[in-house]
Amino acid sequence: MNKIQKLVNKYGYIVFVKLLFAPIFLIITTPFMMIKLWWNCRVLFQCKIDQYHRFSGIPAINCFFYWTQAYNLRKFGNRGVSNLIGLGKFKLSKFFYVPRFGNFLFWKFSTLVTLVSFIGFALSHCLWMINSHSFYPIYITIIILFSVLLYSCIDRINYNSLGWLLLPLFIWLVSHNNVLLSTVVTGIIGIFSITVGVFTFIIGIVFYGFKSDIKLIYMLLPLTFITAVRFYPSITDSIQGKIGNVYINILKLIGVLSTNTKYKRKKKISILGIYFTILFSCFLAIALYQSNFTLNPFLVIISIFISLLFLGESALFRFADSHSYLVSTWSVIAAYTIFSESPLLVYAFLFISNPIPVFGLFITNKPPLLMVPERRPIFVGDAILTVREFLNGIGSGERILFQFDNPNGSYNRIFDGYRNVYELLLYCGNLQNLHIFPDWYFIQETNTSDGLEVWGRNLTDIFVSRERISFNHFIAYETQTNPLPAEFYNDSRISKIRSLNLSDLKDDFSPDPPKGMEGDSLTFNLFAIK
């Protein structure tokens, strides 16, 4: 209700009329915006493709989180110990959910990976032409290729995009009983994405339930084997007591468990979850009515995926991000629409493929109504150089405390709302062999009722934290409306080295720069303890 009230405050009550006609406008305008995005991507073929990151400011800077993972895996190996994240002795076997090869490709070719993957995702629906005498596969391919949902996937989805690329192929193969190729594809999906692997496994099990063909179980063996290999290091380390129960810690962090947890997430369904649960359920209702309420594998899978979407978006049972629930359901719906050859379902598919973006599809400072926001590859090379210069002069292997307010047990208040810009600093610190803390892995390792805390933005808090964990440098932030107290400049125990005004990076992360780069802009102040 708060979000609806914000829309009314911004657009007036005319917003309800705009929302009513928004799907029609989106169907018309999105193809032009998609073509514009492709045209903007021509810069990727000029130079420095590895320094372009995503297509808008907030996703671009937030995804340094994945770059940090990739850097640590490459530097220390998947069984190594990193001194750059967490408490400083972070066993990388905890990254069992990170596909090393896929994450490396996403690190080096971020924009190209997502762009090519989802264009391929759309075009792969043409495979249904092989066994079809109609043009329905072409219709569905065109709808997907120029849809709001695909535009959003290109903008938002991470290294898992390589797994999503293969999901339509798997659905086509399993629905046509091509066990041999299905087996190969499930193995490749397992290499690129555990998340997509979970949805793939569900699809395979449902088809087996309907066809009772044991060969359909065999096709899941490569996926199961590769997933087990990925899990094995973390399982053995957990048994040996080297990393604690990493699975419990992750469930605590994503909000599934709350027992003996310091930082708790609110369990309430998001507006995106409500919107898409209703949207997909309407399609399911039409499909069930047309089939005379006769169940088939597609309809059962759609029902399961809608349920997972609702549970995930209410944090009752969450194992994936929002877009993973959307793409998995959407992909099966696309396959069923082709399979059914129903004009009514094609029209229904057209509308669910072009949802109103204001309900959370895009991370943007200006919620769009009648058209998707403009997107272009974001060049992050200059921003990385600027932040690395800010950190220059600190000895390799040093720890740096970043001061944040105490979130007082609230997950949503961790990092004071600056989690996006903070990821850039953490990544650059890693590149210079610096351990900047706390980070999300620090939170994961200390997320118990008696876990270590290093919070507080007063000067006194610095020295309290220093008694708990050793460091010789710290970063204190300030804004235009909330400058640092005079004690930071007058105390003889510390000395200021340099500052970095985040507003200087605003143009690098346009459109939609993150909080801290515009308005009440953020300044990082680097201090040394004498």
Average pLDDT, rounded, for the chain? 89
Return the biggest CA–CA distance within the chain: 82
Q: How confident is the model at residue 474 (pLDDT cuts 50, 70, 90)?
A: very high
Spell out a b/e string for 386-421, using b for 16 or more CB atoms within 10 Å of the CB, else e: bbeebbeebeeebbbbbbbeebeeebeebbbebbbb
Exposure string of 186-209, with b = 16+ CB inside 10 Å and e = fewer, is: bbbbbbbbbbbbbbbbbbbebbbe
Contact call for residues 51 and 410 (beta carbons, < 8 A):
no
Mean pLDDT of 492-504: 93
9 — pLDDT class (breaks 50, 70, 90): low
Across the range 94-118, mean pLDDT stands at 91
What count of other Cβ atoms lies within 10 Å of the Cβ of residue 329? 26
Residue 247 has pLDDT above 80, yes or no: no
Measured CA to CA in angstroms, residue 212 lies from 205, 208, 215, 410, 511 at distances of: 10, 5, 9, 48, 51
- Answer for the pair 310, 273: CB distance below 8 angstroms, yes or no: yes
Q: Given this model, what pLDDT does residue 70 score?
A: 94
Domain limits of the chain? 2-47+96-359, 381-529
Confidence bin at 11 (pLDDT 50/70/90): low
Check whether 498 has a pLDDT greater than 90. Answer: yes
The pLDDT tens digits of the residues spanning 389-443 come to: 999 999 999 999 999 999 998 888 999 989 999 999 999 999 999 999 999 999 9
Residue 69, pLDDT > 90, answer yes
pLDDT at 135: 92
Reported as a pLDDT band with limits 50, 70 and 90, residue 140 is very high
pLDDT tier at 520, thresholds 50, 70, 90: confident
Cα distances from 302 to residues 280, 295, 461, in angstroms, run 8, 11, 52
What is the structure's pLDDT at 29?
94
Q: Is residue 240 very low, low, confident or very high in pLDDT (cuts 50, 70, 90)? A: low
What pLDDT, on a 0 to 100 scale, did the predictor assign at position 265? 76
pLDDT of amino acid 236: 74
- Give the span between the Cα atoms of 18 and 461, in whole angstroms: 50
Distance CA(444)–CA(437), nearest Å, equals 12
Whether the predicted pLDDT of 250 surpasses 70: no
Question: What is the reported pLDDT for 281?
Answer: 96
pLDDT tens digits for range 299-321: 999 999 999 999 888 767 777 88
Name which of 47-56, 57-66, 189-198, 243-252 the model is least confident about.
243-252
pLDDT at 315: 67
pLDDT score recorded for residue 457: 93
Mean pLDDT across the stretch 338-366? 90
Mean pLDDT, residues 239-251 taken together: 62
pLDDT at residue number 359: 80
Instruction: Spell out the SS3 assignment of 85-96.
Output: CCCCCEEHHHHC
What are the helix (H) ranges across 261-390?
271-290, 297-313, 322-340, 343-352, 381-390
Listed ranges 126-135, 231-240, 249-258; the one with the highest mean pLDDT: 126-135
Please provide the DSSP assignment of 207-247 as one string.
HHHHH--THHHHTTHHHHHHHHHHHHHHHHHHHTTSS--HH
H or E stretch including 523? strand 522-529
Mean pLDDT computed over 97-125: 93
Of the ranges 16-25, 354-363, 387-396, which is most confident?
387-396
pLDDT at 465 over 80: yes
pLDDT tier, 195 (very low <50, low <70, confident <90, very high otherwise): very high
**Percentage of residues in the chain having pLDDT higher than 90:** 63
Query: What 3 state SS string does 38-103 have?
Result: HHHHHHHHCCCHHHECCCCHHHHHHCHHHHHHHHHHHHHCCCCEECCCCCCCEEHHHHCCCCHHHH
pLDDT band at 21 (very low <50, low <70, confident <90, very high): confident
The pLDDT score that the predictor gives to residue 239 is 64
> Model confidence at 468, in pLDDT bands (50, 70, 90)?
very high
Give the count of beta carbons closer than 10 Å to the beta carbon of residue 267. 12
* Confidence (pLDDT) at 272: 87
Question: Which uninterrupted H or E stretch holds 400?
Answer: strand 399-402
pLDDT band at 467 (very low <50, low <70, confident <90, very high): very high
Q: Which is more confident, 222 or 233?
A: 222
